[in-house]
């Protein structure tokens, strides 16, 4: 079992949500995590991932301030988003379903995140790195993120479905 630490410098945690007519994208800039993974025994794998909610960045400071407020993430009361895997199931040659408990805004729900292992390589400094890509969609209201505004034409300003994408490079412990 290879023990790995997420290399934040070479990893990304993105999200996308509908806003009025288009989709708004953003990221979390501060996160950390560990991965225990062996291709030969993927069912024994485990993943932990923690995001600092105050690190949200949509390239618009007013929107980021609103997202940090009690209307959305309430970063003072809920400073982190956390994921802890409970099982990993192989679904293809390099694909897996990583199931676990996702906690956002004080609410914990079981989610399954389809994940691809993109391989491993040694960097120029002799560090072994492993790559993973994952994407899932959650309903923000399942986690108590309920704020919205009704439009004059009917409907709502912010969509409920949030697509989350992770591009992870992890350093294998030597």
Complete DSSP assignment for 109-142: EEEEEEEEEEEEEE-TTS-EEEEEEEEEEEEGGG
Q: How many CB atoms lie within 10 A of CB 1?
A: 11
Q: What is the pLDDT of residue 157?
A: 52
pLDDT, tens digit, 9 for 90 and up, residues 34-90: 999 988 898 899 999 999 999 999 998 988 998 898 888 899 999 999 999 999 999
Q: Is it the case that residue 155 has pLDDT exceeding 90? A: no
pLDDT, tens digit, 9 for 90 and up, residues 161-174: 789 999 999 999 86
pLDDT, tens digit, 9 for 90 and up, residues 106-146: 999 999 999 999 999 999 999 999 999 999 998 888 887 76
Q: Is it the case that residue 148 has pLDDT exceeding 90? A: no
**17-21 contacts at long range (C-beta below 8 A, 24 or more positions apart):** 17/140, 17/158, 17/159, 17/161, 17/162, 17/163, 18/158, 18/159, 18/161, 19/157, 19/158, 19/159, 20/151, 20/157
Quote the DSSP letter at residue 82. E
Confidence of residue 6 (pLDDT cuts 50, 70, 90): very high
Which has more pLDDT, 69 or 32?
A: 32
d(CA 165, CA 67): 18
d(CA 13, CA 153): 33
Please check whether residue 12 is in contact with residue 166, taking contact to mean a CB–CB distance below 8 angstroms: yes
Tokens of 5: 């630490």
If you classify domain 2-172 with CATH, what class do you get? mainly beta
Domain-by-domain residue ranges, the chain? 2-172
Q: What is the pLDDT of residue 103?
A: 96
Exposure of 50 in the CB half-sphere (CA atoms within 13 A)? 8
Q: Is it the case that residue 21 has pLDDT exceeding 50? A: yes
């Amino acid at each position: 079992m290879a023990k790995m630490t997420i290399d934040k410098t070479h990893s990304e945690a993105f999200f996308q949500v509908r806003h009025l007519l288009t989709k708004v994208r953003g990221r979390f800039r501060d996160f950390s995590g560990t991965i225990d993974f062996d291709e030969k025994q993927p069912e024994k794998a485990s993943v932990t991932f923690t995001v600092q909610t105050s690190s949200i960045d949509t390239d618009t400071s007013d929107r980021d301030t609103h997202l940090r407020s009690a209307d959305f993430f309430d970063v003072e009361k809920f400073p982190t988003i956390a994921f802890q895997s409970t099982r990993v199931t192989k679904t293809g040659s390099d694909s897996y379903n990583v199931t676990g408990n996702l906690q956002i805004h004080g609410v914990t729900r079981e989610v399954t995140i389809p994940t691809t292992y993109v391989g491993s390589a040694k960097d120029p400094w002799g560090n072994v790195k492993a790559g993973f890509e994952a994407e899932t969609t959650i309903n923000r209201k399942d986690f108590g993120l309920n704020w919205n505004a009704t439009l004059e034409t009917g409907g709502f300003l912010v969509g409920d479905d949030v697509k989350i994408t992770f591009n992870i490079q992890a350093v294998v412990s030597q």
